[in-house]
Amino acid sequence: MVLPDRFLAVLIDCLSIMRTSVYRLILSLLIVAWASASFAASSFDHSRNVKRVVVALYDGRDAREPTFTQVHKRLELPLNYLGYSVEYHDVRKGLPDQHGMEKAVAVLTWFSRPLEDWRTYLTWAEEQASAGVRFIVVGHPGASAGGMEAKALTNAFLAHLGLKSHFRYVADGFRAEYSKIDPNIIGFERDLFRIPKPFDHYTPIDPNLNVHLSARFVDVDGLKESVLVSSGVGGVFVQIAYTYYYEHSIDRLRWIINPFELLKTALADEPFPIPDTTTLSGQRMYFSHVDGDGWNNVSLIDKYRNRKALSSEVLLHELIEPYPDLPVSIALVTGDFDTLVGGFKKGLKVAKTILAQPQVEPASHTHTHPFKWGFYENYKRADEQKYLDLRAQQVGKWSGKAVLENVGTVVGADNSALRLRRYMSGGTEGMPRAFMRFPFKLDQEIGNSLKFVDSIVPEGKEAKLVQWSGDTQPFEAAIRAARKAGARNMNGGDPRFDLSNPSIAYVPPLSRKVGDERQIYAAASNENTYTNDWTGPFYGFAALGETLKNTESPRRVKPFNIYYHTYSGEHLNSVKAIRTYLDLARSGPYTPVKASHYAAIADSFFDVRLEKRGSLRWAVHDRGELQTYRFDQADNLSVDWARSEGVIGQNRHQGSLYVALDSAVAVPVIALRKTENDADLERPFLEAARWQIKNVHPETCGLSFKAQGFGPGQMTWQGVKPGLYSVSVEGAESRFRLEASVDQGGELSLTLPDVQNRETFVQVNCTGPLRLSKMNGEGTR
């Protein structure tokens, strides 16, 4: 029996006044018993754990780290979308032990050639498959075709996938034709080749195997058939030529298989709450972040050029001040203001003004702006000096000192130094960082940079985000330094899905794992990739809309992110392009948050633990900042409010059910029920809001909650009893009263006044039955 908290308080009070040692001992034992029972009651039941980890094995000969594997570049995003995280292991360094496999739902391989130690791998793989672990095999199964032992081990493993290899390579596609094509899996972004590509001969040995693609071919002893893509109880198998089509002439690819559907067949036996990092309060999340590159660049826009206004000033007047309802995270290259390393004090005043804006979140874009992070993992000053000497020779007219002072900074209206820099991360001659007068120091780059930003912001603000610079591939110690400084970290990935990048394959996953640390990727690419490294066209960022659309439909895989640099203030067309999307964010159904908040949500994805508590019911543990959980193909499912705890809302979008949790509840429970429609509503619930909502308490005739956000607080509640309502809004600095009405449909729509992201308490009370004439909903202050 678990004692209630109020009884514990009584025990502690008694203990504080008890003088007899025996009684004190008895009370102490009671308190210990309460604590033990409470811990047992609240602890996570691993036996009912929803397994969300996919173990990805890769060959270190082909990729020096997970970032460069095909799994990371092509399949980790679909796995994240389906709710799974990926743990990487280089097979050359050993295979996961049993402890490492406890949380694994499947093993994923994408080998391009036989492994060096194929014997150990296939023995291990067969043991894991025999224990019920599913395998997703893309490409080579792992062993060479030579030798009886290799063939026996290969087929012993493949038997768990329902397949047998005949170790026969069919090179002549002209003697083959497709015999089965599953349109749900095949032809996702591109149709099949008219003439089959070369393939290996595999046949099904499981009569229940789902063959998604197969081909007939003429062999020396007659007509035969081979499996090209299949799935079954043991997992998934895909021959390498039938994953995606790569066009060499334009260096672009498109999927042939549908990775979302194929992976789902391999992993999901039943639905579970998918931690969703794209949605908050029932709407697509919005955030914006700016890297401080080009802070001191002179703008070339007519109305600013004559007075030599800085690009950062243009951002202030054109993109920040006019949008107080849209949060933006501004990350300073703090070396830009450090005269010792070659920066200027000129832009410091505008930096203070920008960071003082209520909607602006301060952040760091490092101190000296490394372009090549790998260069500094095992740093030697002598190696850096070689780069500097080489660049000084190429520039010619500038001395080494001048190069140090001017790289990454524009001096004069001709922007000559910007042309020198031209994002010099590309090419072997490019400098490894922008300011190199002094040796590289990691604490200066991260911790001290954050402290400098903190020193110039108003009281109450603090820099809690590091936005990676240059190639955005920080090494493990750099990410660790950000974490130990109390900051989230983000950037990299460059997600694009448009005419130039015509596949979901160009949209990266949530993060990049580096040793024991994790880097969160940005949710969109920046204007640099749209303008050919900032050489033009400067209106190029206008194409961002294609990616925003394609990552929203037919499935929402990323939030709405506007990511750019300060140097966008140089050109009118670049400013106009950004304004287009700021206007869209302001007017559309989005929930704006700070960039650090998104980074925290993405980080939390990997910590969430789901405990199954019966049919269609789950407890959500360790969710951090992640408050939205998604169920796909859920037209016949809705929240079971009677069996749920800490659930505040639901919304439907593109066949998925998005469930919103109350951040004030430590361990919420999501329960679903099957339903034909949402007509039989049981209580008021949030459908969508532009603000964040918590502490929701439905009442007999109304509800109360806490809310905060940017701009007017537009929100829609469903399941509210028809009638007239009084709405009171109480914040730290203001109070408002509104009137609203709810018709027979049970929908309550509110627009609360802008409170500049301050937390407010909202009380909704019924005041009378619904009259024929509706009230206008206007409030009084």
C-beta separation of 492 from 512 below 8 A: yes
Is 665 exposed, middle or buried, given 0-12, 13-18 or 19+ CB atoms closer than 10 A?
Answer: middle
Return the pLDDT at 26: 53
Share of the chain above pLDDT 90, in %: 81
Return the pLDDT at 15: 44
Which helix or strand (DSSP H or E) is residue 41 part of?
helix 21-42
Whether pLDDT at 409 is above 50 = no
Range with the poorest average pLDDT among 181-195, 363-377, 410-424, 464-478: 410-424
Domain coordinates in residue numbering, the chain: 5-41, 53-270, 279-366+446-600, 613-774
Work out the angle at residue 117's Cα, subtended by the Cα atoms of residues 112 and 121, and round it to the nearest 5 degrees: 80
Residue 676's CB is within 10 A of a number of other CB atoms, namely 9
- Cis status, amide bond into 78, omega within 30 of 0: no
Return the pLDDT at 305: 95
Overall average pLDDT of the 211-229 stretch:
96
Overall average pLDDT of the 77-103 stretch:
96
Whether pLDDT at 645 is above 60 = yes
Range with the poorest average pLDDT among 162-171, 491-500, 745-754, 761-770: 761-770
Return the pLDDT at 631: 98
Overall average pLDDT of the 499-526 stretch:
98
Return the pLDDT at 387: 82
State how far the Cα of 214 lies from the Cα of 227, in Å rounded to an integer: 5
Judged by DSSP in three states, 16 sits in: helix
C-beta separation of 225 from 216 below 8 A: yes
Return the pLDDT at 389: 79
pLDDT tens per residue, range 97-142:
999 899 999 999 999 999 999 999 999 999 999 999 999 999 999 9
Whether pLDDT at 405 is above 80 = no
User: Crossing angle of helices 21-42/5-17, nearest 10°?
Assistant: 160
Tell how strand 465-467 and strand 488-490 pair up: parallel
Stronger pLDDT, 680 or 358, i.e. the higher one: 358
Share of the chain above pLDDT 70, in %: 87
Whether pLDDT at 583 is above 50 = yes
Overall average pLDDT of the 203-216 stretch:
97
C-beta separation of 498 from 543 below 8 A: yes
Return the pLDDT at 396: 53
Overall average pLDDT of the 311-332 stretch:
98
What secondary structure does DSSP assign to 195-218, as a single string? SPPPEEEEEE--TT-EEEEEEEEE
What is the overall mean pLDDT for the chain? Answer: 89
pLDDT band at 250; cut points 50, 70, 90: very high
State how far the Cα of 480 lies from the Cα of 486, in Å rounded to an integer: 10
Return the pLDDT at 146: 80
Which helix or strand (DSSP H or E) is residue 703 part of?
strand 702-708
C-beta separation of 30 from 38 below 8 A: no
Which helix or strand (DSSP H or E) is residue 671 part of?
strand 669-674
C-beta separation of 326 from 289 below 8 A: no
Q: Using only C-alpha atoms, what is the Rg of the chain?
A: 29
Q: Give me the CATH code for the 53-270 domain, please.
A: 3.40.50
Residue count of the chain: 781
C-beta separation of 240 from 228 below 8 A: no
Judged by DSSP in three states, 475 sits in: coil
Stronger pLDDT, 589 or 35, i.e. the higher one: 589
C-beta separation of 18 from 70 below 8 A: no
C-beta separation of 364 from 466 below 8 A: yes
pLDDT band at 270; cut points 50, 70, 90: confident
C-beta separation of 89 from 57 below 8 A: yes
What is the layout of strands, in order, in the sheet containing 176-181?
85-90, 53-58, 104-111, 134-139, 235-238, 222-232, 210-219, 176-181
Return the pLDDT at 106: 97
Judged by DSSP in three states, 130 sits in: helix
Task: Find all residues with CB under 8 Å of 12, minimum gap 6, and list them.
Answer: 31
Return the pLDDT at 390: 75
pLDDT band at 732; cut points 50, 70, 90: confident
Architecture of domain 279-366+446-600: Alpha-Beta Barrel (3.20)
**Half-sphere exposure in the Cβ direction for 496 (13 Å, CA):** 19
Whether pLDDT at 533 is above 90 = yes
Which DSSP state fits 312? H
State how far the Cα of 221 lies from the Cα of 412, in Å rounded to an integer: 78
HEC string of 248-260? CCCCEEEECECHH
pLDDT tens per residue, range 3-19:
344 444 444 444 444 44
Structural tokens at position 377: 């993992």
pLDDT tens per residue, range 338-366:
999 989 898 999 999 999 999 999 999 99
pLDDT band at 25; cut points 50, 70, 90: low
Helix/strand/coil percent split, the chain, to 5: 30, 30, 40
Return the pLDDT at 2: 38
Task: Find all residues with CB under 8 Å of 455, minimum gap 6, and list them.
Answer: none
Whether pLDDT at 679 is above 80 = no
Overall average pLDDT of the 138-149 stretch:
91
Please list the alpha-helical segments (H only) found in 274-413: 302-305, 311-314, 348-355, 381-395, 400-406
Work out the angle at residue 77's Cα, subtended by the Cα atoms of residues 73 and 78, and round it to the nearest 5 degrees: 120
Task: Find all residues with CB under 8 Å of 177, minimum gap 6, and list them.
Answer: 196, 215, 216, 217
Return the pLDDT at 76: 98
State how far the Cα of 375 lies from the Cα of 693, in Å rounded to an integer: 45
Whether pLDDT at 464 is above 70 = yes
